[in-house]
Amino acid sequence: MKKFAGLNEKYSNYETAKIAVLPVPYDKTSTWIKGADDGPEALLEASEALEWFDIETKTEVYRHGIATLPEVDDDSTPEKLCAAVDDAVSQILSDEKFPVIIGGNHTVSIGSFRAMARHFGNLTILQLDAHSDMRDTYEGSPLNHACVMYQAASLAQVTQVGIRSMCIEELHHINHDRIFYAHEIFDNNLWQQRALDTLSQNVYVTIDLDVLDPSVLPSTGTPEPGGLTYYQVLHFLRSVFVNRNVVGFDIVELCPNSKQKASDFLAARLAYQLMTYKFFYGAGKNQ
């Protein structure tokens, strides 16, 4: 497994790094296009092409240290996978580092949700996604990637952004005051403050890359038309990092295509940008 951004030992050593990247190459509960288990490796490989200087903030977040951990590979069952992710994220939090989880399909986030909910009070799980993922079970499993936010809602309050696909049964599980549908927000920014107002002080961000329009990021397992643009996602998340304590994030559902590398690089760039936001705008700036 490659190191994030190809950093040398000085900036990738776990003992001194303030950021810990956890790859989870899991795909067994995917339901359409397979290949999300190749997502972490593709993101890490693309990250080696990043410029370390961020134009927006005039900073280089890598100087805080970004360690890349060994991948979580206990994928015999979704239950064991979620438990292994829970254990790994709990250790990162115990070591007082900022966790960044890269999938893999969205099931990998469940273990992270569990660790975060135990570690932080007053927590909101903020989902950016095309799909509401509010089924209580799917294809015989409550841990399917279509059930992720149903699991999240049992652990913390949930806010959902960019949603444009669901089944009718999910309506019974949705909090209609905390969901921001893509068709209502695509042509304005008025929703952003309303969404921000739903968030508690501590926020964990889970990003399914299909929140982005397929014209922006086509390499994902369940692409949906009508998605957000890159800057819509960034501008909203910047306000979250400025106004709340973001305690970690994940980026999932990259399904790499060997003939189209732009999606891989976007995912890596997004990860680096959010690390930057944490240590410039957010609570991490004082660490």
Helix ranges restricted to H, the chain: 9-12, 39-47, 78-94, 108-119, 148-153, 182-185, 190-197, 230-243, 262-280
Give the tokens for residue 174: 């949705």
Is 74 annotated in some ligand binding site? Answer: no
Q: Is 106 annotated as a binding residue?
A: yes
CA distance 222 to 130: 9
- Three-class SS of residue 135? coil
187 is in an annotated binding site: no
For 133: left if phi > 0, alpha if psi spans -120 to 50, otherwise beta; the answer is left
What is the rounded CA–CA span in Å between residue 201 and residue 216?
31
Collapsing DSSP to helix, strand or coil, 202 comes out as strand
- Nearest alpha-carbon partner for 228 in 161, 131, 134, 133: 161
Task: Consult the annotation and say whether 264 binds a ligand.
Answer: no
Could you tell me which residues are annotated as the binding site for Mn(2+)?
106, 129, 131, 133, 208, 210
Could you tell me which residues are annotated as the binding site?
106, 129, 131, 133, 208, 210
